[in-house]
Structure 1
Amino acid sequence: MTHAPGGRPAPKQRNEIAGVPIRAIAIVVIVALSLWFLFANLDRVKIQFWVFTVTAPLWITLLGTLLAGGVLGWLLKGRRMK
């Protein structure tokens, strides 16, 4: 344990809860909610593109949208950090 001047324990960092980073907690919560949402939508739906229509389980469509959003966020994060 690190100590602050005067021998007192250093205060916990604000970006941690019980030693676990808040970012990790947020990721776990978002993944759990996403999985719950995917498996709550198992019905088959018609997806109409410009030229053709596809019938597929809604969870596959939602998963594709989630993955596309994740890739887009990852790509935009890379641009922001430069």
Structure 2
Amino acid sequence: MSPTGGSSPKSPLNVSPRLIAGVVIAALAIWFVLINTSKARIHFWLVWAEAPMWFVLAATFAAGVVTSMLLARRKK
């Protein structure tokens, strides 16, 4: 307890602008994926594939996240 009789003062949240931006971008990407439900035709060098648009967008987003993590790890 603090000297004033109340509970200990709450510490302010230490949230960086970078974290906030990352959460906002991830939320927008997830929303964008969920509203795109049509089929997409994808050309891989020699073959064509058809998949739901949400899957294509989610896979592209995941590839971007993995690439970002690999490049960030490399700089350290």
TM-score normalised by L of structure 1 = 0.69
Tell me the residue number matched to 2:69: 74
Q: State the secondary structure of the residue aligned to 1:30.
A: helix
Tell me the residue number matched to 1:33: 28
Aligned length: 64
Aligned-residue sequence identity (percent) comes to 39
Q: Which runs of 5+ in 2 are unaligned?
A: 1-11
| Larger RCO (alpha carbons 8 Å, 6+ apart) | 2
Higher helix residue share: 2
Tell me the residue number matched to 1:19: 13
Instruction: State the 4+ residue runs in structure 1 displaced beyond 6 angstroms.
Output: none
Q: Which runs of 5+ in 1 are unaligned?
A: 1-17
TM-score normalised by L of structure 2 = 0.73
Tell me the residue number matched to 1:46: 41
